[in-house]
Chain A
Amino acid sequence: MSKNELVILDCWASPFCMRVKIALAEKGLDYEERAEDLFGGKSDLLLTSNPIYKKVPVFLHDSKPLCESTVIVSYIDETWPAPALLPSTPYERSQARFWADYIDKKLFDSTSAIWKASGDDAVEGAKKEFVEVLKVLEGALGEKEYFAGDAFGYVDILAIPITSWFLASEKFGNFKVEAECPKLSTWIKRCMEKETVAKVVPDPEKIYEFVINLRKMFGIA
């Protein structure tokens, strides 16, 4: 019989860790959060649990480790089925997985490219690409409240943490997501009103400060 000891190796600013924490909160599960010092020195547990990527999040279920946030969120949904995060039919699930894949490939990298860029041309180019990604997502959302319809679920959980990094991009790129994608902006506000999300996702101002430090560390002007 499983003891159900749940541990997450975490970094407060990581949108990928936030995904896992939101999923656990949606399921009403208790877990231990262990903060990793990603720049000062990763713990032995992190290095042995995730030898391939050496990244957070790592989720441990009764000491059995899992890595990669999308894999972890799917695992949580399958192990504790209620309330369901993925839709119920195979077709709707394929759509959810398609958008999860798109978000994983495009969203964080395109928003980060803005604050990583140096020079006006590079920033403008990065901004253009990011807005294109947002418009595709806005199209996928359509008139629905959440990506799968009426209920907050899998795709929302994977996307919403990354939006906490948007303010940093807006400040370095000198633009506003709300002006470019009002419907997506409304979806962001709607998700942030949920208790499970609000408790996990930090104030974007704090992420902005974190990004300022990252830029200093990477030697970006």
Chain B
Amino acid sequence: MGCFNIYIFNRQGTCIYYHEWFRPKSVKQGAGTLQDDQKQMFGLFWTLSNFCATMDPKDQDKPQLGTPRKIGQGCKFRSFTTNSYKCNFLEVPSGIKLVLNTHREAPDLTDVLQALYDDIFVEYVVKNPMYVPGQPFQSEQFVNALNAFLRQNGLLQQQQIMQAAV
């Protein structure tokens, strides 16, 4: 139960932050290396967003599949659920993308991801003078705030944090 991992990408596709709490199937069995795994995740998000915008049944002037989009055009992709996990997305107009994999029964986490961006990413990363936009960052304050926030929202059990710390 709880969160499995989190990716934060910037517009250029660089994964500027990755953290996993619980990932029993190792990366080697999946994508091969962590970098490939992150690239694939980014590509997946990209394709799904484009696909959703194109297949939107309510939109008057939706783009054709394959045409380049402008930011914010078309509907926004939120999450997908499989039989073992749920993958939640959020994309911000400045290009920062958050991907959070949680347990299957998690509710709609759009607000949670938005709050994560507003209160934690902006506070501890953007305002950090050592942060270079476009480069992966390390910040203990950010990690602590992230864990506390997810725990508050009931997405992270105490033993998971201890497992990850080991």
Q: Do A and B bind each other?
A: no
